[in-house]
Amino acid sequence: MKTLRFPIFLFFLFFLSQTSYAQGGAHAYIEAHKEWAIDAMEKFGVPASIILAVAMHESANGSSKVAIHLNNHFGIRGANNSKKIRSSYKGYDSVKASYDDFINYLKTRKQFRSLFDRYSAYDYHSWAYGIMRGGYAGSKAWAAHIVAIIKKHQLFLFDNRPADYIEPQDATFEEKSTASESNLHYTVKKGDTLGAIAKRYKTSVSRIKTKNQLRSDRLRIGQHLKI
């Protein structure tokens, strides 16, 4: 048994050193990029906590190959001219350009535009789940990871949140989110179909038809639908 203690002790030291390195990497990343996140929040309304947490998650605190060689900290796909890495991810001249493009990505894609009007610059829960529902990430656990990063590193302290703001409980948040989604109203536009609307709002055609007592899939321009 004595011969096993030394290797176990070394493993324990290695585990502690790796944990310390990971925490130190996160802290250094936050310090280096928080001003960009705060500036973007003040200009566009996206919580600074969301911007930082997404960047930390997607770039492994700036240590991923895509982050190092392409300055891509948000996992956005596109063209690049790198000769050091073969990748389908977009290349940027600077890390700051990657941050700017993340905001532009949210603002210019229709599935994310409503987030700017619906959610405040401190409601990071809604932003995380809203971005996930918009198709930013394939994993259903993505939003939970983002929220966990924000809480672990208290990134919400960078947000423009009221002094009396009460943190929502994760267990009830999805119920509230689902309830608020169920109360959405949509005005039919030219070219709309029930299938396209259902896909946009992550629901089904049959559910929309039931809510609106529709007998057919036919829609008319200007028609108001409950989603």
CA 134, CA 123: separation in Å to the nearest integer?
Answer: 17
Q: For residues 189 and 29, which has the higher predicted lDDT (pLDDT)?
A: 29
Averaged over 84-112, what is the pLDDT?
A: 96
What is the per-residue pLDDT across 154-179, written as a single tens digit (0 to 9) for each?
A: 999 999 988 777 776 654 444 344 44
**Is the pLDDT assigned to residue 81 strictly greater than 50?**
yes
Mean per-residue pLDDT of the chain: 84
CB atoms within 10 A of CB 151: 15
* pLDDT surpasses 60 at 1: no
Residue 202 identity: K
Amino acid letter, 112 = F
Residue with tokens 């809203």: 130
pLDDT tens digits, one per residue of 194-221: 888 887 777 788 888 888 888 888 898 8
Type and span of the H or E element at 185: strand 185-187
Token pair in block for residue 62: 């700036």
Residue 173 vs residue 88, higher pLDDT = 88
Q: Which residue has the tokens 């350009």?
A: 97
